[in-house]
């Protein structure tokens, strides 16, 4: 006959340990995101309803049209991820020059074909 007492105690200890670790992980994971999420969803719903209303606004409705231009600009800013809403060309940011090191060396450059060759 084998003694199962130590195995039962070890099994119980491991089960309690797993439950404690799972409880801590759930507590740490659910901290700040639960309160911030509904406000983000509410602003998305407001933006969607504003965008839907702005689809029917014409340029003759001056006040509504100006409001809708602001809503459209904010929607573009959120979509493209720009903080200031300005394009890179407007701010004077120039792109880095292209790296030419990967081009094959020693080949003639592709030019315009001559007229004498069909």
* CA–CA distance, 84 with 87 (Å, rounded to integer): 9
Rounded to two decimals, the pTM is: 0.34
Quote the tokens at residue 8. 């039962």
Measured CA to CA in angstroms, residue 41 lies from 19, 49, 65, 103 at distances of 33, 12, 25, 49
How confident is the model over 1-59, as pLDDT tens digits? 567 788 888 999 999 999 999 888 887 776 555 444 456 566 677 778 888 888 888 77
- Report which of 53, 56, 46 is spatially closest to residue 78, judged by C-alpha positions: 46
- Whether 58 and 75 have beta carbons less than 8 Å apart is answered as no
């Amino acid at each position: 006959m084998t003694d199962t007492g130590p195995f039962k105690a070890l099994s119980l200890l491991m089960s309690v340990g797993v439950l404690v670790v799972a409880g801590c992980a759930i507590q740490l994971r659910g901290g700040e995101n639960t309160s911030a999420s509904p406000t983000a969803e509410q602003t998305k719903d407001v933006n969607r309803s504003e965008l839907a209303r702005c689809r029917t606004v014409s340029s003759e409705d001056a006040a509504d049209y100006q409001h809708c231009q602001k809503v459209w600009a904010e929607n573009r800013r959120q979509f493209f991820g720009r903080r200031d809403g300005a394009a890179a060309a407007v701010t004077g940011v120039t792109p880095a020059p292209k790296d030419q090191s990967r081009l094959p060396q020693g080949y003639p450059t592709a030019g315009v074909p001559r007229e004498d060759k069909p």
